[in-house]
């Protein structure tokens, strides 16, 4: 592993980075209007006790999987804010609206992501990056 990769890994593998990621996550979930059960799925189907621990926004080292999930959500959020730069509210509503485009096939992006798999988070991000151009 080169020194730049070590620095990047060490910056994201800290309790403070975990707290920042969770703060972002719960803020976004509020804007998207996600229920607790939907949030738990998006976090990788975490248990109730883990969810409530995360909800208290502790300084905690998060797993690579969880950081990757939140990173995809950050990318989705960023892309939507760029696409809907003239209307922030539309950026938050988009995930709940039915979408006929592939890969959604009539589902909302949120319904699509609630499969719980990382692949769907990646697919939504990739779709939005394509829309952005």
Give the residue numbers spanning the domain of 113. 3-132
pLDDT in tens, 74-118: 999 999 999 999 998 999 999 999 999 999 999 999 999 999 899
Q: Could you give the count of Cα atoms lying within 13 Å of 4 in the half-sphere of its Cβ?
A: 0
Instruction: Report how many domains make up the chain.
Output: 1
The pTM (predicted TM-score) of the whole model is 0.90
Given a cut of 70, is residue 63 above it in pLDDT? yes
pLDDT in tens, 111-122: 999 998 999 999
Its sign, for the CA torsion 84, 126, 39, 112, is: positive
């Amino acid at each position: 592993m080169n020194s730049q990769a070590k620095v990047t890994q060490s910056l994201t593998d800290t309790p403070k980075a975990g707290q920042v990621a969770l703060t972002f996550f719960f803020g976004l979930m509020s804007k998207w209007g996600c229920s607790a059960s939907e949030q738990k799925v998006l976090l990788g189907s975490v248990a109730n006790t883990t969810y409530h621990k995360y909800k208290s926004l502790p300084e905690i080292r998060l797993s690579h999987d969880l950081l990757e999930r939140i990173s995809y959500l950050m990318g989705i959020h960023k892309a939507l804010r760029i696409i809907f730069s003239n209307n922030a509210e539309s950026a938050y509503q988009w995930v709940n609206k039915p979408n006929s485009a592939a890969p959604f096939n009539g589902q909302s992006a949120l319904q699509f992501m609630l499969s719980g798999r990382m692949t769907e988070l990646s697919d939504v991000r990739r779709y939005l990056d394509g829309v952005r151009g």
